[in-house]
Chains A and B, each alone.
Chain A
């Protein structure tokens, strides 16, 4: 399982993601700078990590979504390559149109940084296949704009096609997301975006290893 993590100016969670990928999969991921126009050969998974690309100017993820490396990531996704976006990475994937909807300012207007309860809704994706639908895990969130919005038709489609992968559980919705949506997958099943940070819940030092199974899913491919 060869992976790569994209780095934009203002991204600050790439190290956590690189460490988590290496710790669980045993393979050292490549780090790719945003000006690159090609991905390293043979990459299976591209991760767009969390942070504050371009200072969240204009809209979160808007400027990163139009940077040179994104054309290579779009082509990778169109070839069926796997893409995972976490937090700002989710916002970036939504801005590119790889995933539907939008991530808006948290309903409570405050930046939230805490653990939430996350329910696995779809256990057949490349990032959840070692889990069981209905499993509830603890996972940290850290964002100011994680309020998932989509028009009613899109929402109905996502729900009807089982494309909500993660949902905030036990009344822990931290941002007002419609239908408590925390993460979704595209129609083809190879692009996943989520607001919570599973890379920060995989080792004893994190307090728990609840999200280790997500990364183990990458190996079960």
Chain B
């Protein structure tokens, strides 16, 4: 199974990289762009008996290593 994990900064956490991207977009002439937030995308193959088992395993990975839940949220997509 393929797991796709999206890790984003929590609301209210300053994102200086997002701000820099926003500045660059604006200097390229893209108007009306606001609230740029950047994050991480991780993809992995996982052997599991079913989707629920894979999701539980990936959730444990996120809690233990992949995301820092002090500042980040994550979403998991298993296919």
Contacts and interface: CB of A to CB of B under 8 A. Distances in A.
Q: Do A and B bind each other?
A: yes
Interface of A: 58-59, 62-63, 66, 94-95, 100-102, 104-109, 147, 149-151, 176
Contact of B66 (A58, A104, A151, A176): A58
Given A62-B65, A147-B14, 15 more contacts: A58-B66, A66-B64, A94-B70, A100-B70, A101-B70, A102-B68, A102-B70, A104-B16, A104-B71, A106-B16, A107-B14, A109-B16, A109-B20, A149-B14, A149-B71
Interface string B43-65: 00000000000000000000011
B13 interface: yes
B52 to A, nearest CB: 25
Given A58-B65, A66-B64, A149-B14, A102 B71 contact: yes
**Which residue, B13, B20, B64, B71, has most C-beta atoms of chain A within 10 A?**
B71
Interface residues of B, number: 11
Nearest to A105: B16
Nearest to A94: B70
B17 interface: yes
B70 A109 contact: no
Contacts of A149: 13-14, 70-71
Nearest 8 Cβ contacts at the A-B interface: A102-B70, A102-B71, A107-B16, A109-B16, A105-B16, A109-B20, A59-B68, A102-B68
A interface, over-half SS: loop
B17 A109 contact: yes
Nearest to B71: A102
A147 B19 CA distance: 15
A104 B39 CA distance: 13
Nearest to A100: B70
A151 B11 CA distance: 11
A149 B71 CA distance: 8
B20 to A, nearest CB: 6
A105 B17 contact: yes
B68 A95 contact: yes
A67 B54 CA distance: 24
A126 to B, nearest CB: 25
Contact of A176 (B16, B20, B65, B70): B16
